[in-house]
Amino acid sequence: MCKLEDEGLRTDEIFNHTNYKDQLQVRFFYLEADSKAGDSILITTPDGVNMLIDAGIKDAGEQVIGYLKKLGIEKLEYVVASHFHSDHIGGLIAVINEFDIGEVMVNEMPYKSSLKKKLDEAISAKNLNVQFLKAGDTFSVTEDVIVEVINPEPEIVIPEGVIPEQSNDFVNNHSTVMRMTYKNNSFLFTGDIYDQCEKELVEKYSDKLKVDVLKVPHHGSDTSSSNEFISAVSPSVSVITSNASFSMDRYKKYRNQGSDVYITGIDGNVLVLSDGEEISVVTEKDRVGSFLK
């Protein structure tokens, strides 16, 4: 069981599935592990439709399952793998085996690993529909919740000499990036893109990148979050999904831009709420000390 639940701060509030049912809910899960645990994000619409983006490393799968059951979830209408690195798809296998799944969404990156094979087997065993996401795709989660895919490009071309399984930057830069809107509020989910991809997105989408809430790329590391990207996105709320290290320099850049920055490894589970006009945030833990203020 997650230690944060044992501490019992605002855990019950974070996982109360009735208090906020008339709002869009985005939960950035705290994943506990001895090393980097990865990403897992749950989007729940006011209509009760659930979309899970990633599920951390393999050992985090049971934590994610526990969180989902605590929320009373029986079905995930959408499961998205942002990319095929182990700290994003490792826990998805257990989640897919445990729950009723509507549709699985991935990109078309050719990738061979034992975890990817097990993920494919889990999807096949339940005969799930798989949708390949690419820039230009748009789909409606519900009538008011619209997702536009802005990365990766429609055709992923692997340069000569590049082996995806051995090139973190190539795979990360081809993470699925989704811009989601709920009425007048907007969100950007970025996977693990590096500054190279950020630059391309800024050049291609310009003002369209500006959103209210940002999932900070690549766990807040210094591979990402360039000045140009932060300026273009200009988020009011930024969430770093990391139980381990993150870049203080990047943290300060977002703060200096005027963003409220939350970190799952420090703030615990983070719940972002939207009524379609205003954004509010509930954190599981209160910060102790002032080094991040």
For 32-45, the pLDDT digits (tens) are 988 888 999 999 99
106 within domain boundaries: yes
Tell me the average pLDDT across 148-171.
93
187 within domain boundaries: yes
39 within domain boundaries: yes
232 within domain boundaries: yes
Q: What is the pLDDT of residues 62-107, one digit of tens each?
A: 999 999 999 999 999 999 999 999 999 999 999 999 999 999 999 9
235 within domain boundaries: yes
292 within domain boundaries: no
101 within domain boundaries: yes
Q: What is the CATH number of the domain that holds 100?
A: 3.60.15.10
Q: What is the pLDDT of residues 211-243, one digit of tens each?
A: 999 999 999 999 999 999 999 999 999 999 999
**Would you say 49 and 80 are in contact if contact means Cβ atoms under 8 Å apart?**
no
pLDDT for residue 289 is more than 80: no
The number of folded domains in the chain is 1
Q: Which residue has the higher pLDDT, 249 or 8?
A: 249
Tell me the average pLDDT across 135-143.
97
Range of the domain at 97: 3-283
293 within domain boundaries: no
Instruction: Say whether pTM exceeds 0.75.
Output: yes
Q: What is the pLDDT of residues 182-222, one digit of tens each?
A: 999 999 999 999 999 999 999 999 888 999 999 999 999 99
